[in-house]
A and B are shown apart, each in its own frame.
Chain A
Amino acid sequence: MLGLFIQQAPAALAMFDLKMRYLSVSQRWLEDYGLLGREILGNSHYEIFPEIGEAWKAVHRRALQGEVVRAEEEGFTRADGSVQWLRWEVRPWLGSDGRIGGIVIFSEDISRYKTAEARERHLSSVLRAIRSINQLISRARDRSSLLNEACAILTESRGYLSAWVGLWQAGARVALAASAGLGDQAVALAARLELGSCPQCCRELAEGPALILHRDTRAECGSCILADRIPGNGSLAGALRQGGRDYGLLVVSLPSILAADPEEQALFQEVLGDLSIALHALEGESVSVRAEEDLRLSERRFSTIFHSSLAPIGISRLRDGTFLDVNEAFVELFGHPREVILGQSAAALNLWEGLDRRAMIEELGGRGGRGNYEMTGLRKDGRTLSLLASMAQIEVDGEECLLGILTDITERKLAEAELHQALEEKESLLRELYHRTRNNMLAIMGMMSLRASTHPDASIPRFVEDISERILSMALVHEKLYQFRNLSRIDLGDFLAELARQELGRASVGGRVGLELSLEEVPVLIDTAMPMAIVVGELLTNALRHAFPGGRQGKISLALSHSDSGQIRLSLSDDGIGLAGKDGDRAGSAYGLSMIYAIVEQQLQGSIVRLQGLGTKYIITFRDDLYKERV
């Protein structure tokens, strides 16, 4: 009867004798302990389950001695590593003789309840974690604290065994941004990631899915250093994506059974979504914060520059000219107290003289326009100021304004005026000096001419004429100096061309004698030009006077060149009859030629060579470095 009862009992029951041999067993026992189909009656319980530990055997012994031992729940680790939760009771049974005949073990496999309870507990933890993360998101001000605190919440709430966040870097790399529950492995993971190692979950997520489930990380996660951290654990890895941005991933470690739970996965995705939104918001906020900081910095800089600037600066409202701000230099410049200036317009304060403000604003041409204006300012004490104003149209707190940076150029303008006056005086003096010199030259020519006209010696008029020509040559040097506004140098080539044309025009050779000029531009000091005027004038006069007698036709050639070494070469030639028989050698040359040789060789320290052939040719070489520039 008892045996039948045991067999049909809805619970797992087994009846043992004193030696723990099975006497009777319920169907449920066989099912719960995987003994269906096995012949166990008469066999020792310890033979059937050799893994039964000493703790259980002690319980059995206590029951065999008359004690009832029970447990509401107890985990029993199977040989395969799984844990079976049991509620059990072990009590003795008495034989008809009233003595203990053995024990009855009652057990109920409550693993299912325990799992459901654990799941409930876990989901509750995760929900708490989600709530905590939501609170965290609302107060987090930077990415690092957000992620670190989130990982801590996810693990400390016992929701997950570990959690870490990796953020994508350039080059498809991942950097460990935050972690919790990894212990020493956090450092190793960070190092691996730093070296470019990309865990399998990262690689899989990069291909697009939002969630990756690994039921058994040891089996599925390959070479990841976290793979065999906890045997039998699974993992969930989810992408942190929001607003088209892929920030990184969140990886949590949790028991496999939970990892596979769809509800668990849904909650995990909720965490992912919350963190992604937070990352996105922080990114936008950081841009906005940075912009605000930049603006604040810019304003600080402007304020510093504005108030410490030595240049007077004022900001006035565009529409009515009311001053909104001025710096100390502005106050000092105009002499009005700052509190008097602010709130008043320049017109009301009478700061400007003759300023057409409207025309200036039109010229600026709207916001961003700028320009420089010379203005006349009026100080409070009535003194006028010459000012250079750099104006710009800007916006201040939504109001169109004029920013004016002033430079007091009063002293500069006075100095300029004085300089201008001094220059005008110099010009006037110079003009009168030249005028006087040239007048005197004509007066000398006149005096000589008047005296010569009454002199009995018939050669005197020719002599006076020659001297007059030299005076005219020297006058031409003065004219060139004045023309080129250079009191030190003239272009010798230009001078000689004009001298030659004048001499030829004056000479009575009609159109018989041509002029061939090959004159480089050679600037020389007046100290060189003046003697060369005498030399070339004399040679030209001689050629025109003696080389083409009796209506002879011909040509006078004048060439001037200079070398890089500073040597100047002048050649003057004619194709006339030459000087043979008249001034054939230096000893017998006329006084004019002697003077020419003296000027070239002694004054200019050059050389002069006369070549005789079909005409006469003079080659003169000299330098222009005997004198220093005087002006």
Chain B
Amino acid sequence: MSPRPSLRVLLVEDEIVIGLYLKAELESAGYRVSRWVASGEAGIQAAAELKPDLILMDIRLSGGIDGIEAARRIHTAAATPIVFISGYQDPSIKEAAAAVGPLAYLCKPFRIGDLLPYLDGLASTSGKV
């Protein structure tokens, strides 16, 4: 797969194995994870600094705020596309996440093939393919 270095992806995931797996799978699909952080606070900061094209946001994170709150704060500064990746399938949590206006909500476990269409779509619309 040819690299697509121009699409900046921020990964906010506190579990090392999952972070490594996603990073490896995305890279094997031609995308590069520009930065990977483990907490909501770090995610907000990274989003401000990196200005990513896409944020992959876990919900339950280390630190004081969860992924939904981090996404809400990020969206107050910039309408960065966010895909929530979470083991939560509770409707109340899904509704809270939907209120932030994400690009998608993927329930763990999922196939990388379920995630790639969002990146492909963003890459094609941003002309960063």
Contact = CB atoms under 8 A, between A and B. Distances in A.
A57 interface: no
A450 B24 contact: yes
A438 B22 contact: no
Interface stretch (B34-42, B95-103, B105-113, B121-129): B105-113
A446 B89 CA distance: 20
B20 A445 contact: no
A443 interface: yes
A439 B87 contact: yes
A450 B20 contact: yes
A442 B24 CA distance: 14
A512 interface: no
Interface string B8-43: 000000010110111011001000000000000000
Interface in A413-438: 431, 434-438
Most buried by A among B15, B18, B108: B108
B24 A434 contact: no
Interface string A457-495: 000000000001001100100010011000000000000
A282 B111 CA distance: 97
Contacts of B17: 443, 446-447, 450
A441 interface: yes
Contact of A482 (B24, B25, B89, B109): B89
A447 B17 CA distance: 6
A38 B25 CA distance: 164
B89 A434 contact: yes
Given A435-B60, A447-B17, A472-B109, A442 B25 contact: no
B19 to A, nearest CB: 9
Contact of A437 (B87, B90, B113): B87
A289 to B, nearest CB: 69
Contact of A438 (B25, B28, B87, B111): B87
Given A434-B89, A445-B109, A482-B89, A439 B21 contact: no
A84 interface: no
A475 B88 contact: no
Nearest to A439: B87
Contact of B25 (A449, A471, A475): A449
Interface in A354-413: none
Contacts of A442: 18, 21, 87, 108-110
B89 A438 contact: yes
A436 B21 contact: no
B111 A441 contact: no
B86 A435 contact: yes
Contact of B15 (A439, A479, A482, A506): A439
A436 B87 contact: yes
A475 B87 CA distance: 10
Contacts of A468: 109, 111
A230 to B, nearest CB: 104
B74 to A, nearest CB: 22
Contacts of B20: 446, 450
A471 B109 contact: yes
A434 B109 CA distance: 11
B88 A431 contact: yes
Contacts of A145: none
B59 to A, nearest CB: 9
Contacts of B88: 431, 434-435
Interface residues of A, number: 24
B89 A479 contact: yes
A603 interface: no
Contact of B22 (A439, A446, A479, A506): A446
Interface in A533-580: none
B108 to A, nearest CB: 4
Contacts of B15: 439, 443
A443 B89 contact: no
B41 to A, nearest CB: 21
B90 A441 contact: no
A518 interface: no
A482 B110 CA distance: 17
A83 to B, nearest CB: 117
A453 B112 CA distance: 15
Contacts of A431: 88, 90, 93
Contacts of B22: 446
Nearest to A508: B113
B84 to A, nearest CB: 13
Contacts of A453: 24, 28
Nearest to B59: A435
A438 B108 contact: yes
A441 B111 CA distance: 11
Interface string A202-241: 0000000000000000000000000000000000000000
Given A443-B18, A447-B17, A453-B24, A435 B87 contact: yes
Given A434-B89, A435-B87, A472 B21 contact: no
A172 to B, nearest CB: 79
B108 A506 contact: no
A436 B86 CA distance: 10
A468 B113 CA distance: 13
B108 A439 contact: yes
B18 A446 contact: yes
A439 B89 contact: no
A369 B89 CA distance: 48
A441 B110 CA distance: 9
Contacts of A449: 21, 24-25
Contacts of A472: 109-111
B26 to A, nearest CB: 12
Contacts of B60: 435
Contacts of B18: 439, 442-443, 446
A438 B25 CA distance: 18
Given A437-B87, A442-B108, A472-B110, 11 more contacts: A431-B93, A434-B89, A435-B60, A438-B107, A439-B15, A442-B109, A445-B21, A446-B22, A450-B17, A482-B90, A506-B113
19 contacts: A434-B87, A435-B60, A437-B87, A439-B15, A439-B108, A442-B21, A443-B21, A446-B17, A446-B22, A449-B21, A449-B24, A450-B20, A450-B21, A453-B28, A468-B111, A472-B110, A482-B90, A483-B89, A506-B111
Interface of A: 431, 434-439, 441-443, 445-447, 449-450, 453, 468, 471-472, 475, 479, 482-483, 506
Query: 7 tightest CB-CB pairs across the interface, nearest first?
Result: A446-B21, A438-B87, A442-B109, A435-B87, A439-B87, A441-B109, A442-B108
